[in-house]
Amino acid sequence: MKGRFRSIVKELIIGFGFLNGLWYAIGTSPESEILGFVNRYLSFMPTTLQKIVLAIPIILTIGTIITIISIYRRGRILGSIAILLAFIAGAIVVKNWQATLVLLLASMILGLVSFRDKNKGHKR
C-alpha cells in the first residue's frame, strides 16, 4: 500500500504539477501541438472522425477539471499547495534550477503529508 500511495503522490506532483509548469516555461502545450498537427489533416478525415477530433479539447479540459477536484478532495489545501509548488518549480526550471530543486522537494514532502491515508489505523 505504501508503494502505491507514494506512486500516486509522485504522479500527481511530477506529472500534473511539475510537467505542466515545465510546458508553461517552454511556452508550448503538447495538447495544442498534437491538435495542430491533426487539424492540418482534418479535412481529409471522415466526418465522424472529425467530430471526435474536435471533441478532444473538451474531453481534455473536463479531465483536467476532474483531476483538480480530485486533488482537492484527496489532499485538501495542503495537497493543492503541493501541486502549485510543483507547477512553480516547473515554471522556473529554466531560470533557477536550484530553486526548482528546493520547491520540488518541498512539494514532494508536502504531498506525502497531505495525501496520506486518512483512515490509517482504522479498521473497515
Confidence tier at 79 by pLDDT (50, 70, 90): confident
Torsion of CA 23, 26, 30, 34, to 10 degrees: 170
Taking each helix axis from N to C end, the angle separating 47-91 and 97-114, rounded to the nearest 10 degrees, works out to: 110
102-106, 110-114, 117-121: least confident range? 117-121
**Which of these, 123, 104, 118, lies nearest to 5 by C-alpha position?**
118
Using the structure block, give the residue that is written with the C-alpha cell 500527481.
Answer: 12
pTM score of the predicted model: 0.75
Quote the pLDDT of residue 2: 67
46 residue type, one letter: P
Domain ranges of the chain: 2-114
Name residue 112's amino acid.
L
3-state secondary structure of 100: helix
Dist. CA 74–CA 72, nearest whole Å: 6
